[in-house]
Amino acid sequence: MTARVVVDREVCMSAGVCELEAPGVFELDADGRLQVGEPTDLAAVETAVRACPTGALQLLD
């Protein structure tokens, strides 16, 4: 089973920090809605999860 990322959209404020840390996985669309792809670069995703200012991201095994 591969890891996956869950976004709590109630608390995500579209700051884009995750996109900076792991641009191949996270992307804010034109509406500021976060799109999440496959967490292929786990190290970068873990950094993004820690860096999210609102704690909106969770990495599940």
Site membership for ligand SF4, residue 12 (CB under 6 A):
yes
Residue 13 contacts ligand SF4 per CB under 6 A:
yes
CA 42 to chain centre: 11
Per-residue binder mask for ligand SF4 (CB under 6 A), 31-60, x = binder: ---x-----------------xxx-xx---
The CA–CA distances, whole Å, from 61 to 4, 5, 7, 10, 55 equal 7, 9, 14, 22, 18
**Site for ligand SF4, rule CB under 6 A:** 7, 12-18, 26, 34, 52-54, 56-57
